[in-house]
């Protein structure tokens, strides 16, 4: 009863304010900003939402199977920003008003702050009369917008007296969002609507239809009220479905936690550490794309302000560190391997053979076969990895693949390109040879004896490509083989290892010697070294001498990430 009275009180006050209080003017400047004139970012961000946003204790995350909310990761993507995560699991846009955290928000939210708002998962539980809400668009089967223009003020005026109920006695989703928007705008803060993250269907693809009405309602309310909207429904669905359609369901599942500590079933809604990290990264990037002042504080992001931007956030003490000193070491430490004024884009590209490549779900399941490129993104905060490595690829025949064409079209300034070849450069028909005199080669990198030069292909098709694009090439020497008897076989790889090291010196590019490191890893693992490698058969009786298991790929990826720190690369500042 007390909660109901509180809600009515809030509603009555909102009605009075809507009728008698002049509207706060938030004028978009020439750069399309959503911030009031003279806005100065305070450095504070508040989050409200449900369990996909909320904080979890370390013990709760561990016992519930790696459960995280994206709000736990957001601060990692900004410099000089504090995040207060007030999201609560199980709440809808309607029931959050009845929680103590809403009172905390009312007491703390102030001028220059941001308020990120994500509700929808629990609003759409129409069987739960205590939590559900109905967006206006929900009543239209085709989702078509037939209601014209409406703003948060119009919702407050229409439904404040009824506590958010329409004439049919149903609670209106947009009304409760409007309560939070008005609170933010009245305090001189900037509200940001975040559509609900996509859930997984039983077959691993993104189940977004349930969110569709809430996604569209949020988008329309944002447009009509001049409030920025980050469409995480669409963005997460795109990530999941692209992987799913590439037969990489295993990677999709890595973004979601388990339903219990036994880790036997994937939770189709809640996020793992990797999933929360991925979503926080996307949200941080969207603040830049939307031209918000907080985007100037995104780690490793180029400053997006220009002559048409009248926002004075760059004079704010919370932002001046971007031009002097900053807690983000990526902006103050310039590696000798990186071009002048290098700004890390957050993107890594991987090229190589099967030891780095991404495998289908069936190969992962039947052979426990993984490439280290599949595990690399999990070693960093705020980094996306495009794994273009191909099984069976040598430095010579990879240039004829569609993945190489993708590399040429996609690689850009601020990216990293990890290059690992060697295993298949030993194979007849795609082989290359190290140590050939470069002045003896024709335009195909071949000498008079018909031998193709490893150094020629590495230099002309990978190293020079990266440098011309403003990216940083990183050479990764090939990992060792492991014979069935447990002995290591790396002698045949030593010439490629040595050639890569020499190329690194000659071109001033970093080299990660995974030949040596994988030998040490196997030796230190003793009899358990075999577990670092995949199986050669579906019966899982014989280990593969070359390709990695999930455990092996993860350990190699971790060693690579550590080396990016040791080498002083900007990327290394993102390593976990």
Are 445 and 460 within 8 A, CB to CB? yes
Residue 438 pLDDT level (bands cut at 50, 70, 90): very high
User: pLDDT for 408-417, tens place per residue?
Assistant: 999 999 999 9
**Which helix (DSSP H) or strand (DSSP E) does residue 200 occupy?**
strand 199-200
Whether 514 shows a pLDDT value over 50: the answer reads yes
pLDDT of residue 241: 83
Residue 249 pLDDT level (bands cut at 50, 70, 90): confident
| Average pLDDT of every residue of the chain | 83
Distances from the Cα of 92 to the Cα of 214, 227, 277, 370, 466, angstroms: 12, 20, 23, 40, 47
Whether 576 shows a pLDDT value over 70: the answer reads yes
pLDDT of residue 508: 92
Residue 204 pLDDT level (bands cut at 50, 70, 90): low
d(CA 86, CA 348): 33
Say which range, 257-271, 477-491, 516-530, has the weakest mean pLDDT. Answer: 257-271
Residues 506-534 have a mean pLDDT of: 92
Return the structure tokens found at 486. 């447990």
Distances from the Cα of 34 to the Cα of 207, 210, 459, angstroms: 31, 29, 47
Residues 107-135 have a mean pLDDT of: 93
Whether 288 shows a pLDDT value over 50: the answer reads yes
d(CA 406, CA 511): 24
Tell me, yes or no, if the pTM score tops 0.75. Answer: no
Residue 469 pLDDT level (bands cut at 50, 70, 90): very high
Residues 302-324 have a mean pLDDT of: 28
Whether 126 shows a pLDDT value over 90: the answer reads no
Distances from the Cα of 421 to the Cα of 315, 391, 393, 430, 552, angstroms: 48, 11, 8, 12, 18
Residue 129 pLDDT level (bands cut at 50, 70, 90): confident
Q: How many helices (H) and strands (E) does the chain have?
A: 16, 18
Return the structure tokens found at 132. 């559900």
pLDDT of residue 334: 46
Residues 499-527 have a mean pLDDT of: 93
Residue 265 pLDDT level (bands cut at 50, 70, 90): confident
Task: Provide Rg for the chain, Cα atoms.
Answer: 27
What is the greatest pairwise CA distance in the chain? 91
Mention every residue, 6+ apart, whose C-beta is less than 8 A from residue 196: 50, 52, 118, 119, 120, 121, 211, 214, 215, 232, 233
Whether 136 shows a pLDDT value over 90: the answer reads no
Are 68 and 272 within 8 A, CB to CB? yes
Residue with more model confidence, 299 or 563: 563
Residue 284 pLDDT level (bands cut at 50, 70, 90): very high
Distances from the Cα of 267 to the Cα of 201, 252, 257, 272, 334, angstroms: 10, 12, 6, 9, 41
Return the structure tokens found at 375. 């595990």
**Which range scores top for mean pLDDT: 216-220, 298-302, 361-365?**
216-220
Residue with more model confidence, 314 or 553: 553
User: pLDDT for 325-371, tens place per residue?
Assistant: 222 333 334 468 998 889 999 999 999 999 999 998 888 889 999 99
Output phi, psi for 325, to 5 deg. Answer: -115, 160
Domains of the chain: 2-23+40-304 (3.40.50.1110), 334-574 (3.40.50.1110)
Output phi, psi for 161, to 5 deg. Answer: -70, -20
Whether 267 shows a pLDDT value over 80: the answer reads no
pLDDT of residue 8: 44
Give the end-to-end CA distance of the chain in Å, rounded to a whole number: 47
Residue 7 pLDDT level (bands cut at 50, 70, 90): very low
What is the DSSP pairing of strand 481-482 with strand 488-489?
antiparallel
Give the number of other Cβ atoms within 10 Å of residue 141's Cβ. 6
pLDDT of residue 319: 29
Say which range, 155-169, 171-185, 440-454, has the weakest mean pLDDT. Answer: 155-169
Residue 299 pLDDT level (bands cut at 50, 70, 90): confident
Q: What is the DSSP string of 373-431?
A: GGTSGGGBSS-EEEE---TT--TTGGGGSHHHHHHHHH--TT-EEEEE--SGGGSTTS-
Whether 3 shows a pLDDT value over 50: the answer reads no
Sign, CA torsion 426/430/436/438: negative
């Amino acid at each position: 009863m007390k909660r109901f009275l509180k809600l009515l009180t809030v509603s009555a006050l909102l009605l009075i304010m809507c009728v008698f209080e002049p509207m706060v003017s938030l004028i978009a400047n020439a750069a399309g900003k959503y911030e009031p004139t003279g806005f100065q970012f305070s450095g504070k961000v508040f989050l409200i939402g449900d369990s996909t946003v909320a904080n979890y204790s370390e013990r709760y995350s561990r016992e519930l199977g790696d459960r995280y909310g994206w709000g736990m990761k957001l601060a990692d993507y900004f410099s000089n920003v504090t995040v207060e995560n007030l999201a609560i699991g199980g709440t809808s846009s309607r029931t959050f008003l009845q929680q103590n955290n809403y009172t905390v928000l009312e007491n703390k939210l102030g001028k220059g702050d941001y308020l990120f708002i994500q509700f929808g998962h629990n609003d759409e539980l129409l069987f739960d009369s205590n939590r559900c809400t109905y967006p206006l668009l929900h009543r239209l089967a085709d989702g078509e917008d037939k209601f014209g223009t409406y703003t948060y003020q119009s919702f407050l005026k229409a439904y404040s007296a009824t506590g958010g109920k329409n004439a049919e006695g149903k609670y209106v989703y947009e009304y409760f969002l409007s309560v939070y928007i008005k609170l933010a705008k009245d305090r001189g803060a900037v509200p940001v609507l975040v559509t609900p993250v996509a859930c997984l269907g039983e077959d691993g693809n993104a189940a977004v239809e349930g969110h569709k009405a809430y996604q569209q309602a949020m988008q329309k309310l944002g447009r009509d009220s001049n409030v920025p909207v980050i469409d995480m429904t669409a963005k997460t669905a795109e990530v999941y479905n692209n992987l799913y359609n590439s037969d990489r369901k295993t990677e999709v599942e890595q973004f979601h936690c388990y339903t219990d500590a036994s880790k036997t079933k994937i939770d189709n809604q809640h996020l793992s550490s990797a999933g929360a990290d991925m979503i926080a990264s996307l949200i941080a990037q969207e603040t830049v794309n939307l031209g918000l002042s907080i985007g100037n504080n995104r780690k490793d992001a180029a400053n997006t302000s220009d002559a048409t931007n009248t926002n004075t956030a760059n004079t704010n003490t919370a932002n001046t560190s971007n031009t002097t000193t900053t807690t983000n070491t990526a902006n103050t430490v310039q590696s000798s391997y990186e071009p002048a004024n290098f700004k890390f884009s957050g993107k890594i590209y991987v090229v190589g053979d099967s030891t780095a490549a991404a495998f289908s779900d069936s190969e992962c399941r039947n052979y426990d076969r993984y490439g280290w490129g599949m595990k690399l993104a999990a070693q960093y905060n705020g980094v996306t990895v495009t794994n273009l490595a191909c099984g069976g690829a040598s430095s010579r025949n990879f240039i004829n693949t569609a993945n190489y064409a993708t590399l040429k079209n996609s690689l850009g300034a601020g990216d990293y390109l990890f290059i690992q070849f060697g295993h298949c450069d030993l194979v007849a028909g795609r082989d290359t040879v190290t140590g050939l005199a470069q002045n003896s080669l024709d335009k195909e990198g071949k000498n008079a004896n018909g031998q193709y030069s490893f150094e020629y292909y590495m230099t002309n098709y990978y190293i020079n490509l990266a440098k011309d694009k403003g990216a940083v090439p990183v050479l990764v020497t090939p990992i060792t083989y492991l014979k069935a008897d447990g002995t290591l076989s790396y002698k045949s790889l030593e010439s490629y290892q040595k050639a890569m090291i020499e190329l690194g010196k000659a071109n001033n590019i970093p080299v990660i010697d995974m030949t040596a490191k994988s030998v040490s890893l196997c030796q230190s693992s003793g009899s358990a070294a075999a577990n670092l490698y995949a199986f050669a058969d579906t019966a899982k009786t014989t280990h593969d001498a070359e390709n990695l298991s999930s455990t092996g790929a993860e350990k190699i990826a971790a060693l690579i990430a550590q080396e990016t720190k040791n080498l002083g690369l900007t990327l290394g500042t993102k390593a976990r």
